[in-house]
Structure 1
Amino acid sequence: MPEPSSSFGRSPSQANRTFWDSDAERYHAEHSEYLSSFYWSPEMLSEQELRLLGDVSSAAVLEIGCGSAPCASWLARDGVGFVAAFDISGEMLRRANTGPALVQADVLHMPFRDAAFDVAFSAFGALPFVPDIQTALAEVSRVLRPGGRFVFSVTHPMRWIFPDDPTSLTAEISYFDRVYEERDEDGELTYAEYHRTFGDWVRALGMAGFWLADVIEPQWPAELTETWGQWSPERGALFPGTAIFVTFKSG
């Protein structure tokens, strides 16, 4: 699986840390309902309803790319055994509620010991923003105990072929173009996001020692009429905008 790389200057981690620090206020102002609980996706699928993490009442759980940690905070209120969360952005973490143990860190270099957690999860956090997905998944595997569960949601690979305009239903971008990077007038990286095809995800998970138990492709709820960034009722009626992968660490 080919991996993109930044040719010079600021790394993707540095660029995205700066971007999310500067965007934190706007993001929270525009998505207050989504950030009020544990939702897996803009389709507003909740962990309270789905219980994709299983019984975590006595589990050690890690949230990867938590933002202001609404998901980890909900777990803390719901009675999880222990929950920790981390994000690359200090400004996002500053907006977090008390409850989970919070750390500022990069998914490529997690500050946790080996086999420290029973469950790890990520709701649109971290994984879409790193070019080296194999190192990121190896880190997830490292901190999970054998048999541990790893659940994560990302933009559906099919959604990549459509432009950011939520009203557009015309495919304009190659499914095989895996890199989206923005640079300033000096050529410095300011934002980075990376696409994986379904095949890319399956291979990357297998190489990191995970077996794939399920993929959930949510339909857009009829009662949800709001547009959420690139997600909209018009698009959701025709194709999924989110993919949720349920996996387990081998061993």
Structure 2
Amino acid sequence: MSDLRRANRRLWNEWSDDFQAIWRSGTDEGELPPAPSPFADDAPGGPQPGILDSVEGQAYVELGCGGGQGSVGTAELGADPVVGVDFAGDQLQYARELREEYGVDAQFVQGDVTDLPLPDDRFDVASSEAAFQMVPDLDTALGEAHRVLREGGVFVLSVPHPLNEALEAESGTVGGDYLDPGPREITIDEEYDEVLRTFDRSIADLHGALLDAGFAVRRLIEHQRHAVEANEPEETDLPEVLWRVPQSVRFWAVAR
């Protein structure tokens, strides 16, 4: 593991309690915290039946699972077995708690997405949500994703949209450089010892890296914020410019 990855892992272990508290902050007493699956009907871009009919009965792995929300949500949809991998042990403690809250069967393993502690050709489906932008060696991470998938396996890769990341939201201007992949440093909170280091790769670079790793990209989705479906931008506290660009980009790819 690189020094940058170790620094990001230290941050996530330190940030984990606060991050998960925010994630659960909208949960009323007696309700389950959110556990969205990338394969649910309300996932960004919706399901893709032409690529994957259903995750029911499919062996699934979440790469960079954090608090396990995607793993638990996909287990709820019937995937079996379900495995979540993350490098931050404190995040995995929350993942195991969430598993028990939902009463689903999922295994959580500590490991890095560039060196997965998993056998070859083990899974039918894999996904990663907002994790690969923190990986310096994207080619190795995608190679590992390909390695653990069976031929014809489906990989859904989602990262923050690089154009969204380049915006200075308050001024409505482009403050970053779309063509500069980084690393970029983000201060989460002054009280933390580390900053978050990310890589804002262009859509072309992400697409090309998937092809080079042996994937056939079947669908590319650039989606706006979920709330745009229910709220008018002027009725929110978010800067108006954020409604004019995609929030994230999602690739549906198949292992060749």
Partner residue of 2:153? 148
Partner residue of 2:36? 38
8 Å contact from structure 2 (residues 170, 239) kept in 1: no
Distance of aligned partners of 1:30 and 1:131 in 2 relative to their CA distance in 1, 3 Å threshold: same
Partners in 1 of 2:138 and 2:210 — Cα distance? 9
Give, in angstroms, the shift of residue 208 of structure 1. Answer: 0.2
Between stretches 167-176 and 86-95, larger displacement belongs to 167-176
What TM-score comes out, normalization by structure 1 length? 0.81
Partners in 2 of 1:95 and 1:206 — Cα distance? 34
Partner residue of 2:180? 177
What TM-score comes out, normalization by structure 2 length? 0.80
Partner residue of 1:59? 58
Q: Tell me which amino acid in the other structure corresponds to 2:230.
A: E
Q: How many residues end up aligned between the 2 structures?
A: 229
Partner residue of 2:78? 79
Distance of aligned partners of 1:76 and 1:218 in 2 relative to their CA distance in 1, 3 Å threshold: same
- Taking only aligned residues, the RMSD between alpha carbons, in angstroms, comes to 2.9
Map residues 74-223 of structure 1 onto 2, 5 A cutoff.
74-96=73-95, 97-98=98-99, 99-125=105-131, 127-163=132-168, 166-182=169-185, 190-220=195-225, 221-223=228-230
- Identical columns (%): 30
8 Å contact from structure 1 (residues 183, 189) kept in 2: no
Q: Considering Cα pairs closer than 8 Å and 6+ residues apart, tell me whether 1 or 2 has the greater RCO.
A: 1
Give, in angstroms, the shift of residue 46 of structure 1. Answer: 3.4
Give, in angstroms, the shift of residue 47 of structure 1. Answer: 3.7
8 Å contact from structure 1 (residues 39, 123) kept in 2: no
Partner residue of 2:16? 24
8 Å contact from structure 1 (residues 73, 100) kept in 2: yes
Partner residue of 1:3? none
Partners in 2 of 1:192 and 1:247 — Cα distance? 26
Residue aligned with 1:199, SS = helix
Partners in 2 of 1:183 and 1:232 — Cα distance? 19
Query: Per-residue displacement from partner, 1:17-75 (whole Å, max 9, x unpaired)?
Result: 100001111111222259612155xxx98349923564111210000111110111112
Distance of aligned partners of 1:141 and 1:37 in 2 relative to their CA distance in 1, 3 Å threshold: same
Q: Tell me which amino acid in the other structure corresponds to 1:132.
A: D
8 Å contact from structure 1 (residues 64, 107) kept in 2: yes
Give, in angstroms, the shift of residue 81 of structure 1. Answer: 2.3
Query: Per-residue displacement from partner, 1:220-241 (whole Å, max 9, x unpaired)?
Result: 3242579xxxx94623421111
Distance of aligned partners of 1:161 and 1:81 in 2 relative to their CA distance in 1, 3 Å threshold: same
Residue aligned with 2:183, SS = strand
Asked if residue 234 in structure 1 is aligned to residue 240 in structure 2, the reply is yes
8 Å contact from structure 1 (residues 12, 191) kept in 2: no
Distance of aligned partners of 1:135 and 1:48 in 2 relative to their CA distance in 1, 3 Å threshold: closer
Partners in 2 of 1:45 and 1:78 — Cα distance? 11
Partner residue of 2:30? none
Give, in angstroms, the shift of residue 167 of structure 1. Answer: 3.0
Partners in 1 of 2:4 and 2:42 — Cα distance? 30
Q: Tell me which amino acid in the other structure corresponds to 1:37.
A: A
Give, in angstroms, the shift of residue 219 of structure 1. Answer: 2.8
Partners in 2 of 1:45 and 1:59 — Cα distance? 17
8 Å contact from structure 1 (residues 224, 233) kept in 2: no
Distance of aligned partners of 1:213 and 1:104 in 2 relative to their CA distance in 1, 3 Å threshold: same
